[in-house]
Chain A
Amino acid sequence: MDAIGVALLLATLRLSVPLAIAAMGELVAERAGVLNIGIEGMMLAGAFAAFAVGATTGSVGLALAAGMLAGAALAALFALFVIGRNSDPIVCGMAINVLALGVTGSAYRVLLPAGASTLTSPVMPEVAPGVNGFVLVTALQVATVVLFLSRTRWGLAVRAVGESAEAAHAQGVRVLRTRWAATIFGGVCAGLAGSSLVLWLTDTFVEGMTSGRGFIALALVLFGGYRPGRIVLGALLFGGASALQFRLQARGVEIPYNLLLMTPYVLTLVVLTLFAGRAKGPADLARPFVARE
């Protein structure tokens, strides 16, 4: 492979990894019946926390931990309302997104007053030549989720609760606990995905830097038909198309740039809809559950 090809592949991975991690987390939450629209905000919170801790301590490990913790904290807030009080998940999710955007923006300005020299975070090291740590993390995460959902007792509970909370409850499955755990897991993954934006894609934080990646991850879950393989494929497709598009733009190809910007979205949408078939989402997705009348 020539240099351009290698560069393109690397860029593809860098752009796909955050999407794949976030989408796999969202998959688990949705399989449990929780529609978490707030992953955009949870990613952003994760990105900021990773940046702040990374830049001040210089430790990648601490930065990662902080990113995941921030995602988990927002997920807990979301769960408190959506699972604990049966509030509307769309409203709560959007509230989380707005909250995260506002809080990270202000906190960034506190951390880095105007005029101060820029702070940079450390970068995730490579585990093998050319293989960034995040690639390994993603591979592990995807494999774990796949095995978890199909081959463990808890995965069975997650699926049962998302398909029919009432029937699962009647068999003694702890519906609320299962949903809480799945939501927190989704939040941790979103935080991790956000951290990767800081620790790999860039080495700094920018206000609103997730720029819709959380929503793309949500769409990938849906258009990937809730199947892990297709979701990862969708993430790679989107990442690849984005990488190619950046390169073409940099080359100054004679295509209007807004058309280029559109291609990853259109391509991913078309491919996934063509191949996703008629997969059905969890039947009890986003439906409130009352344990005892």
Chain B
Amino acid sequence: MPRVALRDIHKRFGSTEALRGANLELAPGEIHAVLGENGAGKSTLVRALYGLVRPDRGEILIDGVPREISTPRRALELGIGLVHQHFMLVPALTVAENLLLGEPLPAFLRRAELRARAREILELYDLGLDPDAPADSLAVAERQRLEIVRALARGVGVLILDEPTAVLAPSEAAALLSLLPRLRERGTTVLFISHKLAEITAVCDRVTVLRAGRSVATRPVAGLAAAELGRWMVGEALPPPGSPPAMAAGAPALRLQDLRVPGLGGIDLELRAGEVLAIAGIDGNGQGPLEEVLAGVLPIGSGTLEVLRPPLAVLSGDRQRTGLVLDLSIGENLALSEAAGAGRERLYRYGFLRSSELQRVARESIARFEIRGAPDLQARALSGGNQQKLCVARALGGEPRVLVAVNPTRGLDVAATAAVREELRERARAGAAVLLISTDLDEVLELGTRVCVLFRGRLTAVEPERRTRERIGELMLGLGGA
């Protein structure tokens, strides 16, 4: 008997049909992957299982018994846990409070006791976080790891992970992946959503493919190659990875000299037109401050920052917090663009926003980046990957001559990832200077004309002759002595 069965689930949001007959069966103690393009309905499906979405039709069976799961509380009672695709911590509460929120706690809380319990859990999963730190002071990857640990600590029987590795560095992702078979041994059933095909072939037992809200098929993973999986999902062969723009001696476009802010200790860097300078590194090593100081959000502590070829655009690494205004529409988010490019003058006349023009620009971006949504749709209602595409569209919309892209393909499906990477290469070839800050090694190698590594707030250049995954991986962990 399946541990969990979702039968013929339908869900419509306004005019969007997110699910149109999705079926999913999880066998007891298996690791089951769900694969599908951005907006295929993966998150909606698991949110229905977790009591966050009310299906219009269909039924949910837990251990063969039909259940109405109306709240996450009910889901947790039934032993189902979900790690969300997006930040689901209470920002103002501490790590310890977030970790223990919703757990059975004594009526009166003692700080020391809470801290000790939290520390115990954190240590068990080897997560070196300060229990008293507020959750919103954590880097994206740290938050994600905290949420994973929180779900594990609850000891649920069915663990749903919605793109848990999207924000993790390769080493962290590997650690998480190695944990899954151990959970399986304990009898835990895992539902694993990811766009990274290699991860699925590495640890999953079976995979279900979702296409436009419908489940197309479920197959065992054994014997399936990543490329095959990709073809199966998209319906055609994937393009081979491209190669980085060749070394070009363009004019300097961005120069940082001994730049210091809290979290960054003396960054020297010169970015030239026509190149992609890729900065690899594990989140939390200064990526946040670097992005913020380049975006002009964080004041410069000391040193200099010169933009020699404006305009500069920043593609934020945190689409929900600093990338988008989630309550505004797609069109309005596009209009917020800081890059005073050609688009901006067109959008306003005598200082007034021209809604017809806004619609046109929005439709253009939607078509070009294949965003699944209408111009008036709230950004909040987009799937994670489509929110990401919107961020990309806006950053590129102002025709920037310096582009700072932080994890530009985070959460994108295989085809969209290839398209965005090609777009960035194209921009560089056309003379833009691109600073790529990424935790994804493949991305760094595929795009970077030059590669650097950011570790503990310091930048180390990777020697061109030693440009390998291993070497960069070492430097990312601070092991690159010689």
Contacts and interface: CB of A to CB of B under 8 A. Distances in A.
Contacts of A157: 101
Interface in B71-86: 71-73, 76, 82, 84
B88 A166 contact: yes
Given A170-B52, A172-B76, A163 B106 contact: no
A168 interface: yes
Nearest to A161: B90
Interface residues on B, range: 20 to 34
B241 interface: no
Interface in B35-74: 47, 50-54, 70-73
Contact of B73 (A153, A156, A166, A174): A174
Interface in A204-242: none
Nearest to B381: A293
Interface stretch (B91-99, B254-262, B309-317): B91-99
B350 interface: no
A152 B84 contact: no
A160 to B, nearest CB: 5
Interface in A78-104: none
A163 B88 contact: no
B105 A153 contact: yes
B1 interface: no
Given A168-B101, A170-B84, A152 B90 contact: no
B52 A283 contact: no
A292 B52 contact: yes
Contacts of B92: 159, 163, 280, 282-283
A168 B51 CA distance: 14
B124 interface: no
A152 B107 contact: yes
Contacts of B89: 164, 167
Contacts of B91: 163-164, 283
A171 B102 contact: yes
A291 interface: yes
B352 interface: no
Given A292-B53, A293-B13, A164 B70 contact: no
B249 interface: no
Interface string A131-166: 000000000000000000001111111011001101
Interface residues of A, number: 26
Chain A CB within 10 Å — which of B53, B92, B106 has the most?
Answer: B92
A173 interface: yes
Interface in A154-200: 154-157, 159-160, 163-164, 166-174
A61 to B, nearest CB: 28
- The main secondary structure of chain B at its interface with chain A is loop
B413 to A, nearest CB: 23
B53 A293 contact: yes
A281 to B, nearest CB: 10
Chain A CB within 10 Å — which of B50, B84, B101, B107 has the most?
Answer: B101
Nearest to A280: B92
B52 A293 contact: yes
A280 B134 CA distance: 14
A160 B90 contact: yes
A274 B13 CA distance: 48
Contact of A169 (B13, B53, B71, B87): B71
A172 B87 CA distance: 16
Nearest to A175: B71
A171 B156 CA distance: 13
A152 B108 contact: yes
A293 B101 contact: no
B109 interface: yes
Contact of A171 (B47, B51, B72): B72
Nearest to A284: B90
Contact of B71 (A153, A167, A292, A293): A292
Nearest to A174: B73
A270 B464 CA distance: 62
Nearest to B114: A156
Contacts of B97: 156, 160
Interface string A277-292: 0001011000000011
Contacts of B101: 156-157, 160, 168, 171, 173
Given A153-B106, A156-B105, A292-B52, A169 B72 contact: yes
B386 to A, nearest CB: 17
A176 to B, nearest CB: 10
Contacts of B54: 292-293
Interface of B: 13, 47, 50-54, 70-73, 76, 82, 84, 87-93, 97, 101-102, 105-110
17 contacts: A151-B109, A151-B110, A153-B106, A163-B90, A164-B91, A167-B90, A170-B50, A170-B72, A170-B82, A170-B88, A171-B72, A172-B73, A172-B76, A292-B52, A292-B53, A293-B53, A293-B54
Interface of A: 151-157, 159-160, 163-164, 166-174, 280, 282-283, 291-293
Given A164-B89, A170-B50, A293-B47, 19 more contacts: A153-B105, A153-B107, A153-B109, A155-B109, A156-B97, A166-B88, A167-B87, A167-B88, A167-B89, A168-B102, A169-B71, A171-B72, A171-B101, A172-B72, A172-B73, A173-B73, A174-B73, A283-B92, A293-B54
